[in-house]
Structure 1
Amino acid sequence: MQSTHFLCSVVSYLTLKALKRSQGKLNWGLFYFHRWWRITPIYLITMAIWSSLMIHFVHGPSAHYIFSSSRQLCRDRWWVNLFYLQNLIPFPGNLNEMCFGWSWYLAVDMQFFIITPPILYLLYKRPRIGIATVIGLCLVSFVATASIAAYWGLKIGLNEGYYNERSVGHEEADRIYAKPYTRISSYLVGIITGYVMIKYEGRKTQIPKWGLTVGWCISITFGMTIVYAVWNTHHVEKSQVAAVLYLTFSRFTFALAVAWVVLVCVFGYGGPVNAFLSWGIWAPLARLTFGAYLLHPMVLFAYIFASRTLFHYQGSMVVYSFVATTVLTYAASFLLSVIVEAPVIGLEKTLLRRKTKQ
């Protein structure tokens, strides 16, 4: 979801820049349509491949059961995915019983995108009210997440079970993971990041060396803490207070760490980090990342479910599997981009160009 933070920063920056250029006038209908048209066709095509074709491509001990159950789930709930509601319907839901399970991210991202224009317009027109709105939404998210985590006794990491009996009988229910009201805080950090970028654009932003040192130390500490706080949880059980705090603030805190990296790079203080992230080799890969996100579980499942022997962990095997999966995923994403994504984008540009001429 931290990719959501980065993309939100870009959306926030570009939209605020367009509002500034057009003095607050923007075609919001086209704003929404472009988003829907940009991701929906390729999303539906990959969902069709997953639910209808994978069962014919992969044969193995687990393949038939997994793909046949996925096919039935998609037949029953395809319309939920079409309207980006699969993380909410049925409520609270089960990630293991979702058509195209990893698409919960698209649902959350689309739901955030729908509420983005009012927030951005407030930031453009009434910055103080806009910032207050963002802070208020973050506080609501924190309270909701903490309340859910405490009430249902949810644990973190590899800690098994629950802190109370309320979740017994509903162990597979998704209470927090794919819900927009528990994840929106990191998205809002992205919006504010874009706002800061546009606010200080063209200015010579001075950050003293001590400020950079403190900022990097805090950013690294936040990022590493969130990653390693759940380390060794298969041996040590965290307290409920620690679990509630982690579930409530982990995504927000990690988003702050990412926001720092984005801003120092934009303001010219990124140094080698900026040089690495700005490396030209990432540009062509970046155009294929959406397709790679949609396709990579299929590549993994085709490999795993076709196996007739157990997997034994070995470092070299993991490296080989990672490299092979990455190469095959991006190769498949390239084909999907050429066959589906590029024609769809080209069609939109053609239609908009005709409309502009008329």
Structure 2
Amino acid sequence: MISSKTECAHKCLTYTMCQTATYYEQIQICSLYSEKYSVGQILGGINQASSVLEMKNREPTIRVLSSQSTWSQSAITLAGNSAGISGSGGSHLYIPIPFYYDQPNNLIIVGDNGNSRVIQFHLNNPSSNGTVIAGGNGNSCTSLNQFYNTVGIALDSSRHLYVSDSGCSRILMFPPNSNSSTFGVLIITLSIPEGIFINSLTDDLYVAVYSTSSVVMIAKNSTVSVVVAAVLFVRQIQKEKKLSFRLLILYYIHRYIRLTPALLLMILVSINLTPYFGQGPVYPTQKGFESDDCRYVHWWTSILYIGNFINSHEMCLGITWYLHNDMQFHWIAPLALIPFVLGRKSISFIIATLFVLIGIGSILGILLYYPNMSVDVLEAFVDKPGPTFYKNIYITPWCRISAYAVGLITGFIVINVGREYRLNKTAKIFGTILIIILTIICLFATYPDYILASGLNRSIVVAYQSLSRTFWAIVIGWILFLCSTHQGGIVNKFLSWPIWAPLARLNYSCYLVHSTVLHTMIYSQRMPFFYQAHLVVNNFISQIFFSYVAAIFVTIFFETPFFQLEKKLFKR
């Protein structure tokens, strides 16, 4: 088939008016191109056919082709039936559109669009049957191991396969050595994505979007979320049908290496360099922003992510209490995720629900047991004897896990119902009204506590502290559910705006840097600060700007190099 199309390509390219010919003139020159929809697709097919021939006979030299160069009139079939017959067998193709040449392994990977699959062929043995590495389970959008249109494929530096499924408006990623039963991971939803390309140095993904006549870039997320990392891990377990000690170790090592280098850098900066960052009557020019306890005694708790348990009021880089929680949740995430991908979905929902109840019950129990406990977070800066809200509730993982568990449940629901699931109008309106009510409760329920001399009733305070984190997670989960199932409307369009992609690469570093920026500005004040709306907005904008600028250097010189090193060491 490729041989015949190459001959057609030669006829087309030697035709005097080829470059200005209409679609109908093109197919008259070569009827084999009649299934194409435009001149652009014809030329794309010519380019693909000639590229395959070039790859087969590649030499380690650079050749310069003149404008008078022509292609050979003979060729061999590398993929598909040599007689040009379409089919669904391992040696056949049906409407193949994209292909990718895997040079290190001498493979060609073909998007077999008509068979809704991705299949690879060994060039060392062109006559052998291909191996299906994704899809081949029917033409549908209801599952993550099915395709509707495979129009773009690419591999990243870790050999993850990316497939552009224009019919389902999504990009899917599959792990190395995947097969037809492997479920992909949804990377992003775009309206009719087609051609895709991956920068081999950064693994950034570029997508040609037909509906918007644009090319968008999806940056490789610098801080892979706990859920995504766990899902990739359990997909590997599902493929190998066993939980090996090696996979378990790599699961934890990967997360540790991704987070720790940048964290350690900022702790060292906060200890050693911040004394020189500013001046002022209250600026700590002798010790900087960290205490002696952090400098000499409990610094190790930060790199082990247990600083929220040991002498927490003098924790290094105080904002990292959340990072400790995040890592601790990552440690236990497989308890819920492994049963889910192994088919025991009810067990996963039960475990995640137990996590929610543990989070709510822990806060409720502690506040009831200590009826006089203040809920003032500012107590974090005071080493008070006995239990405090900050030390016993605010930074403890058992009181924070409910929000994390709601996120897990949201992911489970989206996977279960599929990306094309549609709520009926009544359910959507009712759900949105409920979410608006929960949002108002989370944002404004404590307002009377600030304007009334007597404050809120203790019962209301206890109820709010016990439920507000879970309510807020439900609000975010609802938004994510609607966006994931293409029902988010203008909210989904805003959150999918390509401008967020480069900022996403800096988010983790910005999180680590921003407290140093804040402390430098606050400690450098030479007079009292009076809160006014315009001053707060001005400070917010300037602090965000400086935080992201500083994050650029942390990301480039520390976070990304260690990420690349980890990929090389463990061949991820």
What is the TM-score normalised by the length of structure 1?
0.87
Q: What's the counterpart of residue 351 of structure 1?
A: 569
Greater Cα radius of gyration, structure 1 or 2: 2
User: Does 231-240 or 81-90 show the bigger shift?
Assistant: 231-240
> Equivalent of 2:255, from 35, 38, 43?
35
Distance 1:266 1:12, change over 3 A: farther
C-alpha deviation, 1:132, in angstroms: 1.5
Deviations 1:167-211 (A, max 9, x none): 987668622100111110111111111222222335x31211111
Q: 2:411 aligns with which of 191, 194, 207?
A: 194
Tell me which residue corresponds to 1:321: 539
CA contact (8 A) 1:104 1:178 kept: yes
Shift of 1:331: 0.4
Separation in 1, partners of 2:318, 2:442? 25
The corresponding residue for 2:69 is none
Corresponding residue to 2:446 among 208, 219, 230: 230
Contact 1:61/1:308, CA 8 A, preserved across alignment = yes
Query: Structure 2 residue aligned with 1:283, among 501, 505, 512?
Result: 501
Match of 2:431 in 1: 215
Is 1:175 the counterpart of 2:396? The answer is no
Partner Cα distance (2:568, 2:410) in 1: 33
Q: Which amino acid aligns with 2:251?
A: F
User: How far does the alpha carbon of each residue in 1:139-173 deviate from its partner, in whole angstroms, 9 at most, with x for none?
Assistant: 2332221110122233447999xxxxxx9876686
Name 2:300's counterpart in structure 1: 79
| Maintained 8 Å contact 1:141/1:183 | yes
| Percent of residue pairs bearing the same amino acid type | 30
Q: Is residue 358–residue 399 contact of structure 2 (8 Å, CA) maintained in 1?
A: no
Residues in 1 aligned to 2:324 and 2:285: alpha-carbon distance in whole angstroms: 26
TM-score normalized with structure 2 length? 0.55
**Which one has a larger percent helix, Structure 1 or Structure 2?**
1
Determine the C-alpha separation between the residues in 2 that align with 1:190 and 1:171.
28
> In the TM superposition, what are the counterparts of 1:99-114 in structure 2 within 5 Å?
99-114=316-331
- Answer yes or no: is the 8 Å Cα contact 1:85–1:107 preserved in 2: yes
Tell me the amino acid that sits aligned with residue 212 of structure 1.
K
Question: In structure 2, how many angstroms separate the alpha carbons of the residues matched to 1:168 and 1:342?
Answer: 42
SS in 2 for 1:139: helix
Stretches of structure 2 that go unaligned for 5 or more consecutive residues are 1-223
Question: Matches of 1:12 and 1:201 in 2, distance apart?
Answer: 19
Distance 1:66 1:309 in 2: 21
Report the equivalent of 2:559. Answer: 341
Q: Give the superposition deviation at 1:30.
A: 1.1
Match of 1:265 in 2: 483
Q: Structure 1, unaligned stretches of length 5 or more?
A: 1-5, 161-166
Letter in 2 for 1:234: Y
Partner Cα distance (2:293, 2:385) in 1: 25
Do the aligned partners of residues 172 and 217 (structure 1) sit closer, same or farther apart at CA in structure 2, a change above 3 Å counting?
Answer: closer
Structure 1 outlier segments of 4+, above 3 Å: 6-26, 65-69, 154-160, 167-173
- Cα gap change, 1:41/1:21 in structure 2, threshold over 3 Å: closer, same or farther? same
The structural deviation recorded for 1:300 is 1.1
Hey, what's the Cα distance between the residues in 2 that align with 1:158 and 1:350?
Answer: 43
1:117-196 mapped onto 2 (5 Å cutoff): 117-125=334-342, 126-153=344-371, 154-156=373-375, 174-196=391-413
